[in-house]
A and B are shown apart, each in its own frame.
Chain A
Amino acid sequence: MGVISTSREGSTPDAAARPMMPRVPLVKTAVFGAVVLLLILLVVQPFGWVLYNSFHDDLSGAWTLGNYARTFQSADLVEPLVNSLILAVATAVIAIGIGVPLAWLVSRTDMPFRRTIRVLTLTAFVTPSFIGATGWILLAAPNSGWLNALWRLVAGADAGPLLNIYSMAGAIFICGIYTVPYSFTMVSSALDEMAVELEDAAATLGSGTLRTMLSITIPLVTPAVIASFILSFIQGLTLFGVPAFLLTPTGIPVVTTKLAEFYQQFPPEIFMAAAYCMPLLLVTAMLFWMRRRILGRKQYVTISGKTRAGRQIHLGGARWPMFFAALLMPLFSVLLPYAALLLVSLTRAWGQGLSWENLSLYWYWWALFGNSETLTAIVNSLLFSTLGATLCIALGTVVAYIVERRMMPGARLLGAVATVPIIIPGIVLSVGFFAAYTRAPLNLYGTPMLLIAAFAATFLPIAYAHGGAILKGIGPDLERAARSLGAGEGRTFLSITVPLMGGGLVSGWFLVFIPIIRELSVAVFLITPKTNVMTTLIYNAKDGGNYEAVCAMSVLLLLMTLLLVAVARPLAQLTGARRTSRKAAEAAGVVPA
């Protein structure tokens, strides 16, 4: 009690109030200081370089607004912006349209094989979209695609192609299905955390299952839905592999393929590329502003300490039809493309077609032992992703906490800073990281820390958004209770907030880990011979036209990520298992079965 100031009554308020001010914040100030410093080093600095570059001329290096003038005046540059917006909106619509119902089916209903669907959807998440696109080229290229070949068997040899993956529709389809895992994961973890009483309340009012889902359940997870819409939209804007593979052949330029041209031409127009990203920033900022408008007026605190295990909704006769509908997503995003990739990876020379003589495990042998790079790259990928995801989720969660609980003035600015990186396409970000992390005070060039820091910074927005979504679901009273019992802010955060976030933090970790392991563009200028990762290696093989190797390494990347997920998930669940022991509660007769 000695900390409490003991000024006597009658002393001036000034004198009375002063002693109690500077007492607490020592640790708090240190933590906030560290967070601000990390954000400056990891995000503000690289982004600052991108911004700085955008105002310079590539040839002369002089200050100029010319890059911006060109961005908005040259039809050659406006067209890709429009195409990118179309792609992004459509991607987001698909991601929400499929991801949200799928999340509901898996989290809330008695659909059969829910766990399988969950795992398979996660598997789609693990897939770098350029690998998915490669698989789909094998399946749905207009002349050679296997699905089209099947179609011709049915419709006759002269029939036109059933599917043409080289089209805007094809690109939207691929971007969409490989973005669904974002909305699926975010929404399903929000549904998992939601108090079931709210749904029960609607059910007792005579609301049907579908009606309850549409009018109660989904609106209650609106923050997660909107967050995943924005993430999916940004994915659609910033993905490079899919449009490069699918849209370039039809001559539809998008921002990322245009950016790649800036880098590939001679002389490279790096500064021009930086300016060309800024419209994306503007569009995304508008989205965030709209989100504030939508969410601002409502309160979305759904947990207030009465967490119970979610009750399943009985689908009745719709159980199996729903299962088959839910299976379509993994079918399109995992089973079909990986079947294609697997078949190619198992041929000695894939142009020979499928035959027993041509079957071989050679490329797996080659990928693992026949070259010196893959094993190192596998270790690097796993190591960097693990460390990067951990750093990212720790920083993102703390920032989200500071912002959500408004713990310091300007907290919202911190949030804005933490949101910036994901909007900048990877290749441009890579240049920013290069500029920022190769000089004092953060000279990391050539070290693994360079990639870890860049990966953590790139996906900080996901960690931050996810952390915010979870925190919105945790009533502040649970923390205030701890404060009033004598726990300081740090102690409260660690012993109340973090355990309550528990399962959400784990899913958040995967939400960051997986994009890191499949990230390509950001790594481009940052890898060194000793710090090569799987994606850059696979892209190199693709660049070299070594298709069998691309396929074999893709399958290896998938297996290795799944293995890690398989090991990590049960470990993570151990921690969250105890608090929702509904079975025990039923046995004790406390809650109605």
Chain B
Amino acid sequence: MMEFSRRRLLKTTGLVGTALLSGGLAGAAFSRIAAASVADDPLYAAAKKEGKLTLYWGSYEQQTMEEIRDAFKAKYPGIDVNLLRQASQTVYTRLRMELQNGVYECDSLGTTNLLHYTELKKVGALASFEPADAVNLPDAFRNLDPDMMYHVGAISLTSINYAPRKVSAPPTSWQALLEDQWHGKITTGSPASSGDVANWVVAIRRKYGDDFLRAFGKQKPKVGQSNVDTVTDILSGERVVGSGAPFSYTLTQKAAGNPIDVVAPSDDAILNLGVTGVLAKAPHPNAARLFTNFLYSKEVSQILQKNFWPTLRKDVAWAEGRSLDQLKWYRNTGDDLGPEVAEGIAKWKELVR
């Protein structure tokens, strides 16, 4: 029975094709309007029958992800959630190997690289599904894929962080980082290790060309791996200013009492979308759909708010009353970012280190 419905689902690309699914959607819509109990949701009923959900996620750090998982379990009892949280690229590489070996473990994939999904879509590894609650997303991020194969799962901002005890006037733009006073004071991640930094390199080259990278290299930045290392370097006192720094994570550390703060550069914070999709051969497709839809719930956005992440709903403000509208941001768009990323990394290696 399961096998049958799954096969049918695979055939229905681009459309919401099965009675089961439309039932789920109707249920979700109904719950929004009538605030009926989740117990009546047919998608939940189907998911509960599957009883399990396996998440391969690289978006959000362990703690936030665990809170989301726990909230899901609380709201939808009877579904056992296995969360594999590793770096986005690791998770993706593993998924690819599983697919090559005919192993189908993963239900929902969540990583920080859109390219993963264009690739998976190409090989038919994703299932189409329209999460009803996605209507609450900020308009700019809705309908990421016209075929509904993947959706926004996280919003991350790349910015500048600094040590407020040591820096009274932090650089307020990417250009300001090139001033002499920051020579030998900057820490950053590596585009070869960090998707966010790679994304930043692409954006900065689009804005200012390779001259920026050349001048940036002359500033002798300390290049770590992940952009999280900027926080570490600032907290330890090794460097005082971080470039390509994680906006949310810096605020989390600040809230924990650490002497660190963040600046949204006037020449645009670089926005990167975390993406999520349901696997075509997911062993628990309904649970995966239920989880995807859950991402756009108030519960999740409140968790994100608490952990200083941009929320996934227009009606839930960010922590400390921030919002997307308050800052200038830029997102790399384009159908084929792959070569541009590779070129950016190569230029970085040539000009920065």
Give yes or no for direct A-B contact (beta carbon below 8 Å). yes
A544 touches B61 (CB 8 A): yes
Given known pairs A264-B192, A349-B258, A529-B82, the reply for A546 and B63 (CB within 8 Å) is yes
B222 touches A547 (CB 8 A): no
B87 touches A445 (CB 8 A): no
Given known pairs A438-B103, A529-B54, the reply for A351 and B235 (CB within 8 Å) is yes
Verify if A543 is at the interface (C-beta below 8 Å from B).
Answer: yes
Bitwise, B220-234 to A at CB < 8 A (1) or not (0) is 001111101101111
Contacts of B256 in A (CB 8 A): 348-349
A265 touches B101 (CB 8 A): no
Bitwise, B56-99 to A at CB < 8 A (1) or not (0) is 00000111001000000000000000111111011011101110
Verify if A540 is at the interface (C-beta below 8 Å from B).
Answer: yes
Verify if A446 is at the interface (C-beta below 8 Å from B).
Answer: yes
Verify if A441 is at the interface (C-beta below 8 Å from B).
Answer: no
A265 touches B192 (CB 8 A): yes
Choice from B61, B193, B233 contacting A261 with Cβ under 8 Å: B193
Cα distance, A258 to B228, chains bound together (Å):
20
Bitwise, B221-259 to A at CB < 8 A (1) or not (0) is 011111011011111111100000010010001001111
Interface positions of A from 431 to 445, Cβ below 8 Å from B: 431, 434-435, 438-439, 445
Choice from A166, A351, A445, A547 contacting B260 with Cβ under 8 Å: A351
A270 touches B232 (CB 8 A): no
Stretch at the interface among B32-40, B113-121, B136-144: B113-121
A525 touches B236 (CB 8 A): no
Given known pairs A446-B105, A545-B231, the reply for A540 and B224 (CB within 8 Å) is no
Stretch at the interface among A134-142, A169-177, A400-408: A134-142
Verify if B338 is at the interface (C-beta below 8 Å from A).
Answer: yes
Interface positions of A from 396 to 453, Cβ below 8 Å from B: 431, 434-435, 438-439, 445-446
B225 touches A248 (CB 8 A): yes
B249 touches A545 (CB 8 A): yes
CB distance from A536 to the nearest CB of B (A): 8
Cα distance, A435 to B116, chains bound together (Å):
21
Choice from B90, B98, B102, B231 contacting A524 with Cβ under 8 Å: B90
Cα distance, A137 to B222, chains bound together (Å):
13
CB distance from A535 to the nearest CB of B (A): 12
Q: Interface residue tally of chain B, by bracket?
A: 35 or more
Given known pairs A249-B222, A434-B97, the reply for A547 and B235 (CB within 8 Å) is yes
Verify if B158 is at the interface (C-beta below 8 Å from A).
Answer: no
A352 touches B257 (CB 8 A): yes
Bitwise, A510-533 to B at CB < 8 A (1) or not (0) is 000000000000001101111000
Verify if B300 is at the interface (C-beta below 8 Å from A).
Answer: no
Verify if B190 is at the interface (C-beta below 8 Å from A).
Answer: yes
The chain B residue with its CB closest to the CB of A249 is B222
The chain B residue with its CB closest to the CB of A267 is B119
Verify if B345 is at the interface (C-beta below 8 Å from A).
Answer: yes
A270 touches B228 (CB 8 A): no
The chain B residue with its CB closest to the CB of A258 is B192
Contacts of A435 in B (CB 8 A): 97, 101
The chain B residue with its CB closest to the CB of A530 is B82
Contacts of A352 in B (CB 8 A): 257-259
The residue in A348, A527, A544 that gathers the most chain B C-beta atoms within 10 A of its C-beta is A544
Contacts of A264 in B (CB 8 A): 87, 89, 192-193
Interface positions of B from 318 to 353, Cβ below 8 Å from A: 338, 341-342, 345, 349, 353
Contacts of A350 in B (CB 8 A): 235, 258
Contacts of B82 in A (CB 8 A): 528-530
Contacts of B229 in A (CB 8 A): 545
B89 touches A524 (CB 8 A): no
Contacts of A431 in B (CB 8 A): 97
Choice from B61, B89, B236, B253 contacting A266 with Cβ under 8 Å: B89
A141 touches B238 (CB 8 A): yes
The chain B residue with its CB closest to the CB of A144 is B237
Contacts of A528 in B (CB 8 A): 82, 84, 105
CB distance from A520 to the nearest CB of B (A): 12
Cα distance, A137 to B115, chains bound together (Å):
34
CB distance from A102 to the nearest CB of B (A): 32
Number of residues of chain A lying within 8 A (CB) of chain B: 53
A249 touches B224 (CB 8 A): yes
Contacts of B259 in A (CB 8 A): 351-352
Cα distance, A529 to B83, chains bound together (Å):
6
Given known pairs A144-B237, A543-B87, A544-B228, the reply for A166 and B94 (CB within 8 Å) is no
Contacts of B93 in A (CB 8 A): 263, 268, 270, 525
Verify if A73 is at the interface (C-beta below 8 Å from B).
Answer: no
Verify if A254 is at the interface (C-beta below 8 Å from B).
Answer: no
Interface positions of B from 178 to 214, Cβ below 8 Å from A: 190, 192-193
The chain B residue with its CB closest to the CB of A528 is B84
The chain A residue with its CB closest to the CB of B119 is A267
Verify if A541 is at the interface (C-beta below 8 Å from B).
Answer: yes
Contacts of B54 in A (CB 8 A): 529
Cα distance, A369 to B5, chains bound together (Å):
41
Given known pairs A528-B82, A546-B63, the reply for A144 and B236 (CB within 8 Å) is yes
CB distance from B246 to the nearest CB of A (A): 8
CB distance from A244 to the nearest CB of B (A): 6
CB distance from B109 to the nearest CB of A (A): 14
Cα distance, A164 to B187, chains bound together (Å):
16
A166 touches B193 (CB 8 A): no
Cα distance, A46 to B301, chains bound together (Å):
43
A265 touches B223 (CB 8 A): no
Given known pairs A142-B238, A529-B84, A530-B82, the reply for A349 and B193 (CB within 8 Å) is no
Bitwise, A460-473 to B at CB < 8 A (1) or not (0) is 00000000000000
Interface positions of A from 255 to 305, Cβ below 8 Å from B: 260-261, 263-268, 270
Verify if A371 is at the interface (C-beta below 8 Å from B).
Answer: yes
The chain B residue with its CB closest to the CB of A524 is B90
Cα distance, A514 to B40, chains bound together (Å):
52
Cα distance, A525 to B98, chains bound together (Å):
10
Verify if A116 is at the interface (C-beta below 8 Å from B).
Answer: no
CB distance from B71 to the nearest CB of A (A): 14
Cα distance, A261 to B249, chains bound together (Å):
23
Cα distance, A244 to B231, chains bound together (Å):
17
The chain A residue with its CB closest to the CB of B189 is A248
The chain B residue with its CB closest to the CB of A437 is B101
Given known pairs A166-B222, A248-B224, A249-B223, the reply for A141 and B236 (CB within 8 Å) is yes
Bitwise, B149-189 to A at CB < 8 A (1) or not (0) is 00000000000000000000000000000000000000000
CB distance from A128 to the nearest CB of B (A): 16
Cα distance, A540 to B63, chains bound together (Å):
10
Verify if A372 is at the interface (C-beta below 8 Å from B).
Answer: yes
Given known pairs A352-B258, A528-B82, A529-B84, the reply for A263 and B190 (CB within 8 Å) is no
Contacts of B341 in A (CB 8 A): 266
Contacts of A445 in B (CB 8 A): 103, 105
Contacts of A439 in B (CB 8 A): 101-102
Cα distance, A102 to B241, chains bound together (Å):
44
CB distance from B220 to the nearest CB of A (A): 10
Cα distance, A435 to B97, chains bound together (Å):
8
Verify if A312 is at the interface (C-beta below 8 Å from B).
Answer: no
Which 9 A/B pairs are nearest by Cβ-Cβ distance?
Answer: A351-B258, A351-B235, A545-B228, A544-B61, A251-B353, A144-B237, A349-B257, A529-B82, A144-B238
Interface residues of A (CB under 8 A from B): 76, 137-138, 141-145, 166, 244-245, 248-249, 251, 260-261, 263-268, 270, 348-352, 358, 371-373, 431, 434-435, 438-439, 445-446, 524-525, 527-530, 536, 540-541, 543-547
**Beyond known contacts A76-B349, A434-B94, A445-B103: 17 more, CB 8 A cutoff:** A137-B236, A142-B238, A143-B238, A145-B238, A248-B190, A248-B225, A251-B353, A265-B345, A266-B341, A270-B97, A350-B258, A351-B236, A352-B258, A372-B66, A373-B62, A540-B85, A547-B235
22 contacting pairs across A/B (C-beta < 8 A): A141-B238, A143-B237, A143-B239, A248-B193, A249-B222, A249-B223, A268-B93, A270-B97, A349-B257, A373-B62, A434-B101, A438-B103, A445-B103, A446-B105, A525-B93, A525-B97, A540-B86, A543-B87, A543-B226, A545-B249, A545-B253, A546-B61
